[in-house]
Amino acid sequence: GRPVFEAHKEFLFDSTEQMMRNELRSIPDGTYVGESYAYYDGKIPNSKYKIKVTIDVKDGTAKFDYTGTDPQTGGFMNGTYTSSASGTLLTLLQMLNPDIPHNAGLVRPVDIIIPEGTLLNAAYPAATTYGNHLCPNNADAIMRALGPVIPERVTAEWGELLCSLTTGNDTRTEKEGDAFVDICFMGLKGGSGGIYGTDGYDHIGMIDASGGVLDQDYEIFEQATPHLVLKHEYLLDSAGPGRWRGGVGVETMFEFHGKGIKVVTFGDGDVEPSRGSQGGMEGGLNFIKLKYPDGPEWRTLTTKDLVHNVPDGTIYWQHASGGGGWGDPKQRPVEKVLRDVRNEVVSIEAARRDYGVVIDPATWTVDEAETAKLRE
């Protein structure tokens, strides 16, 4: 009956708590500080906001204190306590035993302090539409704090999210003017950071979803919207070089069709690239650009933009950055560098410059003597 059920439930919570405490004890006791930044609040050009976290680890407990984080913004780039605390837990769990059950016992040894009125816990009536999208910046601060302490369990930084939403009227339909709306999932998925023992994931969702974002099917995309896909492929040299490289980002290009088209952008990653770890190198930067049919110039959108009346025939172009690399790139096995070059995710020039691997472009073979010199 109910008493037996409650007893089993409490046993599950208690055992989960013990598992969590044991995992936290594997992190050396101490106080660790990390800082990261979120850029442009949608109102003040070139604005920059600090996220600061102080992590106290002691005898199987962890306290995350965000005192020192900048005040909330006057725009929509603010978080709530729930979104920010969830992002904190999610980032921490990626560093711990994945077999720990997710229940109430898991959170008992963890304390999260986020002062009200700050970027990550805005006070009413601040706009908080962007709250979930501050989680990647929050994750960067946590990884910068704990990376030096448990380096083999912390990834290099992931490529930041930059996304777009498009609305308009589809003029292909029998009832001309039917509305469409689309979030460009295929364009937003960059690369995750490398980690000890493995490369980052290529073309993956954002860290606040643990990468779990589905891509779009090209044919369905072209059926659901009046747009035409021109290019969607891995972005050359977007992955941060490392002994274990970052995940590869993507390049997306399509042509808008229809009437009354609006483009909204939201995200980050156009100022500061994803950092590498333990000698690994940084990934690239994000951008979204438009080229109107009556002009040769590309218009670079801001990361929080709203563009009205985009004309039919406009070209949309996006780069989603790769993740940072982990470890010295010159320790990466030569055969893996050669494979990446053959797969067109690393250029011959980058192989030489970053990895110290010299490849003959005529034969696609490694010059072992020159490679040995560069890797001395």
- Measured between alpha carbons, how far is 298 from 303 in angstroms, rounded to an integer? 16
Three-state DSSP class for residue 104: helix
Cβ–Cβ < 8 Å for 374, 356: yes
Cβ–Cβ < 8 Å for 313, 143: no
Q: Which residues contact 75 (CB under 8 A, 6 or more apart)?
A: 41, 42, 43, 44, 127, 304
Q: Which residues contact 204 (CB under 8 A, 6 or more apart)?
A: 158, 189, 190, 191, 192, 211, 213, 247
pTM here is 0.93
How far does CA 131 lie from the centroid of its chain? 15
pLDDT number for residue 175: 65
DSSP 241: P
Furthest-apart CA atoms within the chain: distance in Å: 75
pLDDT number for residue 214: 84
Cβ–Cβ < 8 Å for 52, 141: yes
Instruction: Give all strands (DSSP E) within 173-258, no chain letters.
Output: 178-183, 228-234, 250-255
The residue written with tokens 């979104």 in the block is 83
Domain boundaries, the chain: 1-154, 156-332
The residue written with tokens 């250029």 in the block is 347
pLDDT number for residue 23: 96
Instruction: Give all strands (DSSP E) within the chain, no chain letters.
Output: 30-39, 48-58, 61-65, 110-113, 162-170, 178-183, 228-234, 250-255, 259-267, 287-291, 299-300, 304-310, 315-320, 359-360, 365-366
Tokens for 336?
């893996």
pLDDT number for residue 260: 94
pLDDT number for residue 176: 66
Q: Which residues contact 113 (CB under 8 A, 6 or more apart)?
A: 63, 64, 65, 66, 67
CA nearest neighbour of 195 among 234, 145, 243: 243
Omega within 30 of 0 (cis) for the link into 28: no
Angle between helices 135-146 and 81-93 (to 10 degrees): 40
Q: Tell me the pLDDT of the chain (376 aa) as tens digits.
A: 899 999 999 999 999 999 999 999 999 999 999 999 999 999 999 999 999 999 999 999 999 999 999 999 999 999 999 999 999 999 999 999 999 999 999 999 999 999 999 999 999 999 999 999 999 999 999 999 999 999 999 999 999 999 999 999 998 876 666 899 999 999 999 999 999 999 999 999 988 888 888 888 999 999 999 999 999 999 999 999 999 999 999 999 999 999 999 999 999 999 999 999 999 999 999 999 999 999 889 999 999 999 999 999 999 999 999 999 999 999 999 999 999 999 999 999 999 999 999 999 999 999 999 999 999 8
- Measured between alpha carbons, how far is 160 from 4 in angstroms, rounded to an integer? 47
- How far is residue 357 from each of residues 11, 71, 122, 242, measured CA to CA in Å? 55, 47, 49, 13
Element (H or E) spanning 296, and its range? none
- Measured between alpha carbons, how far is 356 from 278 in angstroms, rounded to an integer? 18
Q: What share of the chain is helix, strand, coil (3-state, %, to 5)?
A: 25, 25, 45
